[in-house]
A and B are shown apart, each in its own frame.
Chain A
C-alpha cells in the first residue's frame, strides 16, 4: 500500500517537472527519440507514451514549434521551443527555483528544530545524572 502511495505521489511530483525538463531540453532542437534519450541521459527518464503526446500538446499550446526534415535518409519531426515557450520556460524556472528555495528553508528549519530538541533532551539527561550523582 505504501509503495503504491509513494508511486502515486512520485508521479504527481514528476508531472510538472517533466514539462519543465522537456521545454528546457528543447532549447536545442531534437526529434522525439533523441529528445527521450537526452532526457534519460540527464536522469529524467520518460516513457514514449507520455513524451510524444506531451510534445503535441505543448505544440498545440504554442510553446513548441516543429518541422519535418530529412535526416539519415528519413523524414523526422524536429521540435524546438518557440518564443512564447522560451518566455514561459523562464517564468516556470523562476517559479521552480522559488519553490525549491522555500522547500530548502522549510527543511532546514525542520533540521534546526530537531537539533534543538536533541540538545535540550541531552541537557535534561545530563542534569538528571548530576542530581543522581
Chain B
C-alpha cells in the first residue's frame, strides 16, 4: 500500500489544515474498499499496476484536494461581468492618461526626437499594475460580498438607464481609436519637425525649410490636433453624437478652416535654408511654393464646403433625420 500512502500524503499537502485528517481518512477507506472489492472479484491480491489504476481513477492530488476547497474561483460568475467591464474601462482610461502624459513629455521636451521612443514604450507598462489592482479589489469584494451590498446592481430602475440612442448617432469605437492614434502621431511628428526637418523634407531638408508662417501657426495647429484627440477620447467613452459634441466638432472644423485661410494668405510657405542664391534655385523654389498654394487652395475649398454643409445641417436642426443620414453616409 505504499502507492496509496504516497498518494494520500501528496493530497495532504494541498488540503486545508483543519480538515486534512478527516478527508484523508475517508478517502483512504473508500479507496481501500474499492481495492478490496476488486481483489474479491479477481480472487487474488492486486498487483502494483492494478493498485495504480484504482488510484489514478481518483485524479491528480492537486485536483482532488482542490475539489475539497470551499471556493473554486477568485471572482464568481455573478461578479465577473462587472469585473470585466470595470477592467476594460480602467485599462482604457489608464492607457489614455499615460498616452497623454507621453505626448506632453514629447511636446515640452527640448529634444523631442529622442524622447518619442522612451515615452511611447512606457505607455503599455501601465497595464500590469492596473490589471493587478482591479483584480485584487474584485477578489476582495468577492470574498466579502455576502456582507457588502452592491447598490448599482441591486437598486436600479429602467428609468435610470441612458436615453435611447439612434443607430445613426452611434460613433464606431474603431473610428475614435483611429482618430486618437492618427492625431497623436501627427502631434508628435509635427512637434519634432522644427528640430528634425528631414521628417518632412527628407534629404531636401539640407536646402529647404518651412516659411515663417508655419512657426507662427505651430502651436495653434498642435492645439487644434489635441482638441480633436480629446473629442475622439470623449466619443470613445460615450460613443454617440450629442448636440453639444456636434457643435464642438463644428467649432474645430471652423478653427481648421481659419488656419488654412491664414496659411493661404501668408505666402512663402517654403524657403531656402541658406538664402535664394542663383536664379535656378529661385525658380525651383517658386514652383514648389506654387504647388503648395494649389494644395492649400484645394484644402480650403474642401474644408469650406464641408463646413458650410455641416453649418446648414447644424443650424437647421442639430439632430434632424437628414443630418443624421448625412453623418451616417459620410461615416460609411
Contact = CB atoms under 8 A, between A and B. Distances in A.
Q: Do A and B bind each other?
A: yes
Given A32-B26, A75-B25, A77-B29, A49 B64 contact: yes
A34 to B, nearest CB: 8
Contacts, number: 43
Contact of B58 (A48, A76, A77): A48
B166 interface: no
A34 B29 CA distance: 11
A56 B64 CA distance: 13
B34 A33 contact: yes
B210 interface: no
Contacts of A49: 58-59, 63-64, 67
Interface in A34-79: 34, 36, 47-50, 52-53, 56, 74-77
Interface in A4-56: 31-34, 36, 47-50, 52-53, 56
Q: Which residue, B32, B33, B34, B57, has most C-beta atoms of chain A within 10 A?
A: B33
A74 B30 contact: no
Query: Could you tell me the dominant secondary structure of chain B's interface residues?
Result: helix
B26 A77 contact: yes
Interface residues of B, number: 17
Contact of A56 (B25, B32, B68): B68
Interface residues of A, number: 16
A104 to B, nearest CB: 30
Contacts of B297: none
A11 B178 CA distance: 44
B311 interface: no
Interface string B33-70: 11001000000000000000000011100011001100
B301 interface: no
Contacts of B68: 52-53, 56
Contacts of A47: 57
A52 B27 contact: yes
A52 B30 contact: yes
A76 B36 CA distance: 14
B23 interface: yes
A31 B29 contact: yes
B26 A74 contact: no
A98 B283 CA distance: 94
B165 to A, nearest CB: 35
A110 B305 CA distance: 62
A121 B256 CA distance: 68
A33 B59 contact: no
Interface string B8-19: 000000000000
Given A49-B59, A53-B68, A56-B68, A74 B29 contact: yes
Contacts of A77: 25-26, 29
A75 B29 contact: yes
10 contacts: A31-B30, A32-B30, A33-B30, A33-B33, A48-B57, A50-B67, A56-B23, A76-B29, A76-B33, A77-B29
Given A32-B30, A49-B58, A75-B29, 6 more contacts: A31-B29, A47-B57, A49-B59, A49-B67, A53-B68, A76-B33
